[in-house]
Amino acid sequence: MEHVRDAVEQLDTLEETYSPVLIGLGRGHPPNVNFKLDDITLFIQSVLSVWKSVLQEKMTSECIEAWRTLFVFILTSMRKGKLDRNRENRV
């Protein structure tokens, strides 16, 4: 969750400043760990479901969509790094 906090702190320049960090993080995952799109979707749904059960009415639809957007950005950036590394290892 540290990376979520860091991403939130850099929302205005997320693509330029934090995407490279996330791509690097994804590149560092072990070769036998795979990021499937279904896994990413399930992870995001699970986290948001737990937060909604805890925060209840404070977790508005706008809040859910904002967090979903941020999680998709974080996890797809990490997945890109992982896929880049896998391609390099095949060459």
pLDDT per residue as tens digits for the range 14-71? 888 888 999 999 888 776 666 676 788 888 899 999 999 999 999 999 999 988 888 8
- The domain of 12 spans 2-90
Q: Which H, E and C letters describe the chain, residue by residue?
A: CHHHHHHHHCHHHHHHHHHHHHHHHHHCCCCCCCCCHHHHHHHHHHHHHHHHHHHHHHCCHHHHHHHHHHHHHHHHHHHHHHHHHHHHHHC
What local confidence, expressed as pLDDT, does residue 11 receive?
79
What local confidence, expressed as pLDDT, does residue 35 receive?
64
pTM: 0.77
Q: What's the domain count of the chain?
A: 1
pLDDT at 79 over 70: yes
Residue 30 dihedral angles phi and psi, to the nearest 5°: -60, 150
What local confidence, expressed as pLDDT, does residue 53 receive?
94
